[in-house]
């Protein structure tokens, strides 16, 4: 009888948390993914604003976060063209924050480098997920230079 109880307790014990495994999040990999996609993307360097209280709680609450949370947002900045980031871009968009189990995309208001999808039904959409998605917060000058190089046909190989 004791063996049965021990087995039953072991069978219902919580399992160790699984780790989320993502490929490295890089401007080059994101650029290549957007460039090869059937969807249309605009690369924007600018300021992202939204209501942060609408974001999922990243699994810190008592319930699992939803798989996808859509948040109205605004991005103001410059879109990438052959001349660099020189096309004014000020648009409302839908921020889509995906969660994989308890892990959710990280999004902060402020300066961003964003690969914004242009959709016929929803207008502009920006995706964030636990592995990075299409958003880079507080981009460094080297990231801006790299995405411009990718756009101009220069070297655009993600680091491994």
CA separation, residue 130 to residues 13, 40, 102, 152 (Å)? 27, 22, 10, 29
- The end-to-end CA distance of the chain, in Å, is 53
Domain that holds residue 61: 23-151
* pLDDT of the residue at 47: 98
* Inter-residue contact 67 to 74 (CB < 8 Å): no
Q: Out of 9-13, 39-43, 87-91, 153-157, which region has the weakest mean confidence (pLDDT)?
A: 9-13
Q: Would residue 27 count as lying in a domain?
A: yes
Q: What is the mean pLDDT of residues 119-142?
A: 94
Q: Is residue 160 part of a domain?
A: no
Position 85 scores a pLDDT of 98
Residue 18 inside a domain? The answer is: no
Residue bearing tokens 């592995």: 131
Q: Is residue 116 part of a domain?
A: yes
* pLDDT value of residue 11: 39
pLDDT digits (tens, 9 = 90+) for 110-130: 999 999 999 998 899 999 999
Q: What is the pLDDT of residues 11-20, one digit of tens each?
A: 344 434 456 6
pLDDT in tens, 39-74: 999 999 999 999 999 998 765 555 788 899 999 999
**What is the pTM assigned to this prediction?**
0.83
Residue 123 parent element (H or E) = strand 123-128
Does residue 134 sit within a domain?
yes
Rg of the chain (C-alpha set): 20
Within a domain: residue 159? no
50 assigned to some structural domain: yes
**Is 95 a domain residue?**
yes
Number of domains in the chain: 1
């Amino acid at each position: 009888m004791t063996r049965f109880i021990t087995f039953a307790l072991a069978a219902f014990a919580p399992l160790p948390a699984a780790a989320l495994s993502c490929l490295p999040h890089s401007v080059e990999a994101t650029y290549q993914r957007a460039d090869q996609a059937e969807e249309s993307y605009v690369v924007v360097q600018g300021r992202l604003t939204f209501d942060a209280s609408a974001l999922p709680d990243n699994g810190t609450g008592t319930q699992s976060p939803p798989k996808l949370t859509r948040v109205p947002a605004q991005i103001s900045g410059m879109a990438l063209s052959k001349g660099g980031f020189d096309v004014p871009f000020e648009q409302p968009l839908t921020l889509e924050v995906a969660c994989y189990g308890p892990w959710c995309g990280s999004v902060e208001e402020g300066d961003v480098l964003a690969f914004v999808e242009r959709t016929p039904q929803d207008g502009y959409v920006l995706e964030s997920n636990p592995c990075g998605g299409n958003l880079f917060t507080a981009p460094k000058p080297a990231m801006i230079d790299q995405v411009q190089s990718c756009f101009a046909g220069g070297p655009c190989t993600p680091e491994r």
